[in-house]
Structure 1
Amino acid sequence: MEALINKYRDLLQQTDISFVRGLSNKINWDARAVCIEGARGTGKSTLMLQHIKSTLPLHLTLYLSLDDLYFKQHSLLSVAERFYQEGGRYLFLDEVHKYADWQTEVKNLYDFKPQLHIVVSGSSILALQQSNADLSRRLLRYHLPELSLREFVALKTGVALPEYQLHDLLENHQAIVDDIKKSVTSPLKFFREYLTYGAYPFFKEGESGYLMRIQQLINVIIDYDLPEARPMEVSTLAKLKKLLYIISTAVPFTPNITRLAEQISTSRNRLLDMLELLEKAQLIRNLRSSSFGISLMNKPEKVFLHNNSLIMALAEGQANSGNLRETFFYTQLSGAGYRVSYPKMGDFLVEQKYTFEVGGKNKTFKQIADEPEAYLAIDDLEYGTSRKIPLWLFGFLY
């Protein structure tokens, strides 16, 4: 166990707390049990270590990564019980999906160690979603999205900027742009950079190798995470990758399910299952009409990659500008927790209230003229007018 403690202390010493994700302030860290979900590479481990370093007494805490070889021969329960007996009260468990039957052992710790606070996290969303019902009732779940444009600017420059609520942004966007430009003189410059390499915090480790790391991340999710969570054939993994590539190079992608199934040599129902699987793995977003609800058998009206960095890594220079714009808008609104669905008119319906059309400088209100709460989200625009709002500004919602 001493070896585990030494690894934890080394990690903690190397943890930088100069930039902390906005989710940290929204988590109820005092809860008995917390689960932090999020796609690979979003910074879940760092978030836990930062919380420990900035707020908790060192002697009361222990951070464990359950993919450590130590747990091939020792149980989590034995380590946790010794930690508790020696006065430990805050246990952080990372990569929990790598440990067999972690749900049962965490449930036992929760039930029989009433003074123990437990935080769990893992890179496989599917594995975390499959936690049993008894444990799910005990866990407060939080989702860590990819970086917003606001967070990207803060991480890159050290300039901390406020979050804005959507209704404030719609009503006061000109004043908000003025406030932002007091600290960031060229927001469009950062917006362009964000579209290429801004979704994941590891861009700080080198922009030149960023897209290669994204490709590696995709391969790990498809080749290892998905088969661990759900048995599947090797041929299915290749089809999933082909499906991602097709989506990445498309104009905002309205799928013809029958034709797409033929392209990747599968059946219609199997294709719908693959789209759902990729969505749960947080590699794509399926935009559905709110009038039909979410159902596997209801085909999505549009399909997007989960963020712009995935597009840039997969499309290899063939990214469509319309796809980049709409993906950015969708990811920023979803990351901020707003409900986004497919409208009767326009590109997006937000919170069943606001209709948005996303486009370049020449985009007009023609398609959404009859909608009562209609707005344009416009690229290549620093300042907006009335209901015509700069696209980049939607990156300041979280």
Structure 2
Amino acid sequence: MIASQPEVFQVLRQFNPWWEGSSIPDLPTWRRSAFSDLELWIKDPPARRAILLSGARQVGKTTILLQLVRSILSDRINPGQVLYATFDHPILKLIGLEKTLEAWREFAPPSGELEFLLLDEIQFCQGWQTWLKHQMDFEKRRRIVVTGSATPLQTEEPESGVGRWRTVQLPTLSFMEYLQIKGIETPPLPAIESLSNLFGFSTSDFNRISVTAKPLVGHFNEHLLRGGFPQTALVESIPTAQRLLREDIVEKVLKRDMTALFGVRRVLELEKLFLYLCLHDGGILDIAVLCRDLELNKATVTRFIALLDAAHLIHKLPPHGYGKEVLRGKNKVYLSDPAIPGSVLLKGKSLLEDSPKLAVAVESAFIKHLVTRHPQESIGFSYWRGKGSEEVDIVAEVEGEVIPFEIKHRRSGVGIGDLKGLESLCRKRNPPRAYVVTREMIDFGPLPKLGETEVLRIPASLACYWLSRPEIVHPH
């Protein structure tokens, strides 16, 4: 016997202070934007499904689970009906799911009422997919939310989850969430339902908003340095915040999680590859060049890229096109948060003085805001390359209609003559609207049309602010 039921129950008591009438200590009042959706699914689910909350380390998954507990208990639910457990605890990891639940049921007898199970880091439990499938099929009284920091969660036995659980991706903090967590007062800017609303604004509207929104620029730059992780966002010192982020990624994810969850043995080679991606953030992934530079074989590199993707450390942006165009094309690779490269490479505040690297960080931040705004919708995101060096940074495609976004993050003003790639794409696809994401607040407002395409400049800090506001429904 690894541990007796009384010993297991003592562990659970520490995680569930509400069983004895105590409150949850040190629980923040701010909430991630995903909270309301999760609250609906656990309190009044639209369908009988478990929830799989998946995201990188330290993005706030545990905090959301405990906030859900507090919300459930506020409805006068019997505290004994609510179980929180985390399977990165050594004893619970060893005994597994069933033994953990047996200990709970032994000392908190079933009441015949609803049971709420909130299970953290479930990827450490062997066979969790089959267990969750059976729970959804046969345990009608249970409502379950599970979390995981890496996605053997989604790659193992995917057919088991069809119709049994709903996956919710939790990205790093948006700019708006960052401002809320820091307690920063936001300027009185108009609420808009879509970025396309901006095309109806007047010159005086653009001028007034440019002045009002100016304080956002400094906070946005800090957001790029600190990153979208609640722990590092609240640290006073930027070097300390970056060091903590580096330790979490390099020491815990690359050296511990990759070994424990994926059986990686060549950790130094994986770390070299990750550092290479940090140096080339937002670049086109040329596997042959990468293999040559790092002296690794193609199979190893391909597997490591897939593992970094599964651990939510990178995301890929495919080339825009159809058929052979896409098959021949190469993905762009971005780190999952714009602060990761600077933190891992110990850049400190020097990022703000390195214009090319800062532009890449802004591009990464904007793409993250645009893509994560619509994780469940049928919007395709890609980048476009024309002849020669013509390129458009991101293209959103909805029902055959494309909306291009070009990032031009520089001090000098951006004019229509600086947009050769965008002009070429607009001539080829004739989109109704196009956006140019700029650096300066003065670069806010319409540009001359490209054919029939209306073009709008919008500063990056303002674009990310509006994209992370709950009022926004569609990016186009």
Could you say if the C-alpha distance between residues 81 and 211 of structure 1 is closer, same or farther in structure 2, counting changes exceeding 3 Å?
Answer: same
**Structure 1 pair 12/334, CA: closer, same or farther in 2 (3 Å)?**
farther
Question: What does residue 35 of structure 2 align with?
Answer: 24
* CA distance in structure 1 between the aligned counterparts of 2:281 and 2:223, rounded to whole angstroms: 20
Higher mean C-alpha deviation, range 311-320 or range 43-52? 311-320
Judged with a 3 Å threshold, the aligned counterparts in structure 2 of structure 1 residues 251 and 133 are, in CA distance, closer, same or farther, namely closer
After superposition, residues 262-341 of structure 1 pair within 5 angstroms as 262-291=292-321, 300-317=330-347, 319=351, 320-337=357-374, 339-341=380-382
Which runs of structure 1 show a deviation greater than 4 angstroms over 4 or more consecutive aligned residues?
Answer: 80-84, 158-166, 172-182, 292-299
Q: Return closer, same or farther for 1:254/1:154 CA change in 2, 3 Å cut-off.
A: same
Of 61, 66, 80, the residue aligned with 2:87 is 66
2:261 aligned to which of 229, 244, 250: 229
CA contact (8 A) 1:358 1:378 kept: yes
Which amino acid letter does the alignment assign opposite residue 130 of structure 1?
E
- Aligned-pair Cα RMSD in Å: 3.2
1:388 maps to amino acid: R
Q: Distance in 1 between matches of 2:319 and 2:263?
A: 30
Instruction: Give the count of matched residue pairs.
Output: 395
- Partner residue in 2 for 1:144: 170
The answer to whether the aligner puts 1:189 opposite 2:218 as a matched pair is: yes
The structure 2 residue matched to 1:357, chosen from 406, 420, 425, is 406
TM value normalised by structure 1: 0.87
2:216 and 2:461 in contact (8 A); partners too: yes
Match of 1:375 in 2: 435
Distance 1:120 1:181 in 2: 44
| Counterpart pick for 2:14 among 6, 10, 17 | 6
Partner in structure 2 of residue 171 of structure 1:
199
Q: 1:147 to 1:78 in 2, by over 3 A?
A: same
Q: Cα–Cα, structure 1 residues 126 and 13, in superposed 2: closer, same or farther, change >3 Å?
A: same
Distance 1:41 1:271 in 2: 26
TM-score under structure 2 length normalisation? 0.74
Distance 1:91 1:19 in 2: 23
Structure 1 letter corresponding to 2:139: K
How far, CA to CA, are the matches of 1:207 and 1:177 in structure 2?
Answer: 33
Q: Give runs of aligned pairs for residues 85-234 of structure 1, distance below 5 A.
A: 85-86=110-111, 87=113, 89-157=115-183, 159=185, 165-168=193-196, 170-171=198-199, 186-208=215-237, 209-219=240-250, 220-234=252-266
Q: State the match for 2:462 in structure 1.
A: 393
Q: Which residue of 1 aligns with 2:4?
A: none
Larger radius of gyration: 2
Percent of matched pairs sharing the same residue: 21
- Distance in 2, matches of 1:299 and 1:217, equals 33
Deviation sequence 1:131-181 (CA, Å, 0-9, x none): 552244311111111101111011112547998554446536785996798
Q: Distance in 2 between matches of 1:169 and 1:84?
A: 56
Q: Return the alpha-carbon distance in structure 1 between the equivalents of residues 327 and 397 of structure 2.
A: 23
Report the Cα offset of residue 270 of structure 1.
3.4
Counterpart Cα distance in 2 of 1:176 and 1:63? 49
Unaligned runs of 5+ in 1: none
1:350-391 per-residue CA deviation (whole Å, 9 max, x = no partner) reads 235111211224443333124133221001336611111111
User: Structure 1, residues 250-286: CA drift from partner, whole Å, max 9, x if none?
Assistant: 3741233222111111123432332232222221222
How has the CA–CA distance of structure 1 residues 5 and 172 changed in structure 2, closer, same or farther, with 3 Å as cutoff? farther
Structure 2: gaps spanning 5 or more residues: 1-8, 352-356, 386-390, 447-455, 469-476
Is the Cα contact below 8 Å between 1:12 and 1:49 reproduced in 2? no
Task: Pick one of 102, 109, 114 that aligns with 1:78.
Answer: 102
Which one of the candidate residues 19, 29, 52 is aligned to 2:69?
Answer: 52
Q: Which amino acid aligns with 2:363?
A: E
Q: Deviations over 1:62-102 (max 9, x none)?
A: 21112223423471341454456145611111111122222
**2:407·2:436 contact (CA, 8 Å) conserved in 1?**
yes
SS state of the match for residue 34, structure 1?
strand
Partner of 2:449: none
Q: Is the 8 A contact 1:122 1:128 kept in 2?
A: no
SS at match of 1:324: helix
